[in-house]
Structures are given as C-alpha cells and as structure tokens.
Amino acid sequence: MPSGRECVSCGLPLASLGVPMRLILVGLLLFASTALGQQTVTFTASPNILQNNRIVVSQADCTAERTVTWSRTGLLCETLYFWLSSDGACTRAPAGADLLLQQVAAGDTTTTTGTLTLRASAALEAGGDTCESQTATATFRLCASTPRVTVDVIGNQTCADTFSSVGTPAIDLVYDPEPPSAPSAPAVTGLDGALSATVTVPSDSASMVVEVLSLVGGEDGGVGTGEVVNSKVQAVSNTVFRMDGLENGVEYAVRAIAIDAAGNRSEPSAVTLGTPIASDGFYGGYLDAGGSETGGCAAAGGGITGCAVLASLGIWLSSRRKRS
C-alpha cells in the first residue's frame, strides 16, 4: 500500500489515510485556514505626537494634521474601513457622526500600507460641532474594521456577517480645549545669586513652568510685577526649580504655570516673593559661626573645638545645598 504522503499526492480520499496521517493533515489545514482568515492592521505614529497611544491636540492645533501609518495582512472578503469613531466602538462600519478616512476594497491584495491624516476639526465637523463650539474634551477612536474571513478544513472561504475591529494598537485622537487648573503659589528659598522654587503640580498637567519677575513701583505707591527675567520648564516629575542669574539682595516675584498634554497653559499662580542671598562660602560661614582664622583645630569660644564647628557647619551647608 502506498504511504500516506503518496496517497495525498495521488488525490486519494482522506479516509484512506492512516489515523496519524489524517490527524497531521487536518492540523495543517486548520492552521492554514486560521492564517488565511486573520485580517490584521498595525498602526504606527511618530513618538512626537503619540504618547500612551493618545494623540492630544489643543484648540490652537484643532485644524493641524496628524499622520498615522498603517500596514495590513490577510484576505479581505468585504471593504476594510479606516475611520474615527465618535463613540469609541470599532466593531461596526462607520456611520452617523463617524469620520471615514480611507477604505480598501474587497479582494484588493496590493494595497497593504497607507497613511491616514487626522484632524480634530474634521472629526468634530462630522458630528456637527466646531473647534469653537466644542468646549469640553472630545475623544475619537481610530478604527480599522471589516468582516473576517474564515476558511474551513477543505478550503471553503466564508465571510462573517458582522464587522470586527482589526486595528492595533488602540489609538485615540483627543481634542482638549480646556486648560489645566492653576497651581498654587510656589515655595521659594533664597540662594546665592539664585532662587529655589518648589511647585505643587495639578493632576491634569504634563509639565510646569516657573517664572521669575522683577518688581516695579505702582502709581499708587505699591509694588507690582514687571517683566519676566528668568523662566524654566520642567516635567512634572521634577518639582524643584533652581532659578539662576539673579542679583543678590534684590527681591523678585516667582509664579508657576501648568501645561497639559495638549499644550494648554493654565492661569499663573499667585506670586511668592524671594530674595537671593550672598554667601561667603564655607570659610566665611565658618568664621561667622565663631571659628578662628589661625590655629588649625584650636578650641573655639564656649569650649567647642574649631574642628567640631567645621564639621557641623559642613553638614549644615551640605544640607542647604541638597534642599536647593
């Protein structure tokens, strides 16, 4: 009797094969049918615009274009739709307030990559809104959907009756016209030629700005804020700002501003006043603490040795530097 391999090549019925060979052949056919029936779409975008699978735009960037590229594998038995879903659901065809971006026809085997252009203004207009009328945050899910193809063990292809979401990862286009909450006034400490400012970060912030402003006399005899003399931006993970380039003995105003992921800026915080303080360095601090200019570690007044003063003063200065 011919071997199982010869029987397959000769076109003999599957039932004529031995049990082990039938199991192997059925497994191979099932594997092939699964591979043929898998439609997958992969989205990619520049890390400059995509953070945590979100593309966030402010009102100022509402009409700006953001591009996402895609690639796909698998058979298409129906049209493949690329679209922005207004309700976050991708297991259907686009309709109503959804924005259709692109489509690939059934049976198309050549269009396997492409680029999608996303604009928050277009997504809003599809639902009857505008950049100006939409005052709250709006989120649109980027979808790729089509009915899936299934192939049975004898090669018959069937197109599903319902749509499936075939795009990964799940990417959201977020229109955020709302600025973050204003932060509280920073805590300010005077340093030599600088100020140290510690900020409290609002929960909806991505970065923080600290500004140092000059003080000017007002017409009513009071004091107001003048121009910004120093400004620094840091991520919310770093809440301590060292503001250098300031004049010792001059009082400044310091304020904080929060910035969210869309680039919206909060209202400035209330100001805190601070004055840089001149430092004579370690030796000057040692003398101010009662140390002697001569004699090495001779005893200082009060029975405390100069070495003890030096040691304690060194610890104190080191602690000040760490806090700043």
Q: Is the pLDDT score of 1 beyond 60?
A: no
**From its phi and psi, is residue 252 left (phi > 0), alpha (psi between -120 and 50) or beta?**
beta
Could you tell me the sign of the dihedral formed by the alpha carbons of 49, 55, 61, 65, in that order? positive
Listed range (148-157, 206-215, 243-252) with the worst mean pLDDT: 148-157
Model confidence band, residue 75 (pLDDT cutoffs 50, 70, 90): confident
**In the CATH hierarchy, which fold is given to the domain comprising 187-274?**
Immunoglobulin-like (2.60.40)
Model confidence band, residue 287 (pLDDT cutoffs 50, 70, 90): low
**What mean pLDDT do residues 88-115 have?**
96
Half-sphere exposure of 293 (CA within 13 A, CB side): 1
CB 236 within 8 A of CB 203: no
Fill in the amino acid letter for 112.
Answer: T
What pLDDT shows up at residue 155?
78
Nearest to 191 by CA among 126, 145, 247, 147: 247
Model confidence band, residue 288 (pLDDT cutoffs 50, 70, 90): low
Instruction: With residue 211 as reference, give the H or E element that holds it.
Output: strand 207-217
Contacts of 33 (CB under 8 A, 6+ apart): 150, 151, 152, 153, 155
pTM (predicted TM-score): 0.68
Give me 90's structure tokens.
């991708």
Task: Tell me the domain boundaries of the chain.
Answer: 1-37, 39-175, 187-274, 281-323
CB 260 within 8 A of CB 183: no
Do the domains 187-274 and 39-175 match in fold?
Answer: yes
**In the CATH hierarchy, which fold is given to the domain comprising 39-175?**
Immunoglobulin-like (2.60.40)
The mean of the pLDDT values for the chain is: 82
Give me 129's structure tokens.
């809104």
What pLDDT shows up at residue 286?
55
DSSP class of residue 186 equals P
Instruction: With residue 7 as reference, give the H or E element that holds it.
Output: helix 4-10
Question: pLDDT tens for residues 193-224?
Answer: 999 999 999 998 999 999 999 999 877 767 88
DSSP string, 242-272: EE-S--TT--EEEEEEEE-TT--BPPPPPPE
The distance between the two most distant Cα atoms of the chain, rounded to a whole number of Å, is: 113
Cis amide linkage into residue 169, ω under 30° from 0: yes
Question: b/e per residue, 75-105, with b = 16+ CB within 10 A?
Answer: bbbbbbbbbbbbeeebebbbeebbbebeebe
Q: Is the pLDDT score of 293 beyond 60?
A: no
Listed range (67-81, 115-129, 295-309) with the worst mean pLDDT: 295-309
Model confidence band, residue 126 (pLDDT cutoffs 50, 70, 90): very high
CB 91 within 8 A of CB 163: yes
Give me 47's structure tokens.
């890390």
Which alpha helices (H) appear in 141-231, and where do they start and end?
none
Dihedrals phi, psi of 246, to nearest 5 degrees: -105, 165
DSSP class of residue 8 equals H
**What mean pLDDT do residues 145-149 have?**
93
Between these two residues, 18 and 243, which has the higher pLDDT value?
243
Nearest to 22 by CA among 35, 4, 38, 34: 4
CB 3 within 8 A of CB 20: no
